[in-house]
Amino acid sequence: MQREAAFAHGATCGMPGCPRQRGSEKVTPRTTGLIAVCKVANHFQKLHRCLVKNFQLISLVLNWYVIVAFMFAYLIGVDGGGTGTRVRVADPAGTVLCQGEAGPSALGQGVEAAWAQILRAIASAFHALGKPCPDWSVCALGAGLSGVNHLPWRDQFLALNPGFARIALESDAHTALLAAHGGKPGGMVAAGTGSIGEALYADGTRRQVGGWGFPVGDEGSGAWLGLRAMAHAQAALDGRIAPGVL
């Protein structure tokens, strides 16, 4: 009875003639053997599906490495804001080779000026490595820049590409968010020359607040604090408020 119930309620393997497809019936040596064959078949079907899935994943990863290795000699990451530009250069495997710095590359301060500072920072990085700058056609550039959300500036920046094989362009707020949480959902507030906040949700959607620029926005930024410090100092000099320790 126990064995009858076992194959009466068990899952079928999909093989023609499987006794489990016909419901409960008398157990015989033949049906017992068929059930054993079905179990083995089920095992190999699952193993086959697992191998196919893993092979597809491995193929995708290998293809990505082959594409990167053959198309790009260097991967260049850029963090550009209103005060300065920081660059890191890596090989196709992602190993950081060198880094460099230059002046501001916020797009609001001029797109051509931004490109000039980015190229200067890259040159500084390769100089530290003891190598001349390579041909840009063998380099992929990923940049997080202030002002990218203003589409005319973004379009002009991409149009002025000096020859990089690939450019991935995002706002410095989004790249900071990805770095802060390792690409996982989270939120961050950045306060530097300007200020901005961004959140990444579990469903992949994003929300950004602030970042409207000085003087109408950028609350809590260096520019915002400096303006208010000067206004406070002038009021103290006029005698309109009591002077502080500063």
Helix (H, G, I), strand (E, B) or coil at 73: coil
Highest mean pLDDT pick, 23-37, 64-78, 147-161, 177-191? 147-161
- For the cut 70, the answer to whether the pLDDT of residue 30 exceeds it is no
Tens digits of per-residue pLDDT, 47-90? 545 444 444 544 444 444 444 555 788 999 999 988 899 999 99
Cβ-Cβ contacts under 8 Å for 112 (sequence gap 6 or more)? 160
Q: What is the pLDDT of residue 51?
A: 43
Task: For residue range 210-228, list pLDDT tens digits in order.
Answer: 777 667 676 777 777 888 8
Mean pLDDT of 219-241: 82
CA distance 83 to 103: 7
Strands (E) across the chain are located at 74-80, 85-90, 96-102, 139-145, 166-171, 186-191, 195-200, 206-210
Strands 206-210, 186-191: pairing kind: unpaired
Q: Please list, residue by residue across 180-215, b when 16 or more beta carbons sit within 10 angstroms of its beta carbon and e when fewer do.
A: beeeeeeebbbbbbbbbbbebeeeeeeeeebbebbe
List alpha helices for 10-131, DSSP H. 29-71, 111-129
Look at residue 176 in the predicted model and tell me its pLDDT.
81
Tell me the two tokens of residue 210: 């602030």
27-36, 89-98, 123-132, 223-232: least confidently modelled range: 27-36
Q: What is the mean pLDDT of the chain?
A: 76
Rounded to 5 degrees, what are φ and ψ at 177?
Answer: -65, -45
Confidence of residue 36 (pLDDT cuts 50, 70, 90): low
